C-alpha cells in the first residue's frame, strides 16, 4: 500500500470518526462510509495542508473512493513537483 493511500485512509477515518478498518481503498466515501459534501471538503483541506498542494474545485466531485482520492493526490503532487523544477 502506498504512503498516500495510507494517509488518505487515516484522514477519511478521522474525519468521519469511523474505524480505519472500514476505510478500504475501494469503499465509496459517500455511499459506503456516510460522508457528505462538507466531509469531503474537510478531507481535501486536510490533504492540501498535509502535502502542500491545491486540489482544484472541479476535482472535488471526482472523489469517490479512498483509492481514487489517493490517485488524484499522487497526480497533483507529481504535477506540483514538476512545476517547481
Q: What is the pLDDT of residues 21-78, one digit of tens each?
A: 999 999 999 999 999 999 999 999 999 999 999 999 999 999 999 999 999 999 999 9
The structure's pTM equals 0.92
Neighbour-count burial for 35-57, b at 16+ CB within 10 Å, e otherwise: beeebbbbbbebbeeebebebee
Residue listed under C-alpha cell 491545491: 54
CB 44 within 8 A of CB 60: yes
The pLDDT confidence band at residue 82, using thresholds 50, 70 and 90, is confident
Closest CA to 70 of 21, 10, 22: 10
* Cell triple for 47: 490533504
pLDDT for the residue numbered 1: 47
Active site residues: 36
User: Rounded CA gap, 62 and 19, in Å?
Assistant: 24
Q: pLDDT at residue 2 above 90?
A: no
Q: What is the pLDDT of residues 6-18, one digit of tens each?
A: 999 999 999 999 9
Amino acid at each position: 500500500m502506498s504512503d498516500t493511500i495510507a494517509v488518505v485512509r487515516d484522514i477519511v477515518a478521522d474525519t468521519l470518526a469511523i474505524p480505519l478498518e472500514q476505510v478500504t481503498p475501494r469503499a465509496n466515501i459517500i455511499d459506503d462510509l456516510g460522508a457528505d459534501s462538507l466531509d469531503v471538503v474537510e478531507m481535501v483541506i486536510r490533504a492540501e495542508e498535509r502535502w502542500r498542494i491545491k486540489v482544484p474545485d472541479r476535482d472535488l466531485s471526482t472523489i469517490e473512493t479512498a483509492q481514487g482520492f489517493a490517485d488524484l493526490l499522487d497526480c497533483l503532487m507529481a504535477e506540483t513537483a514538476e512545476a517547481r523544477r
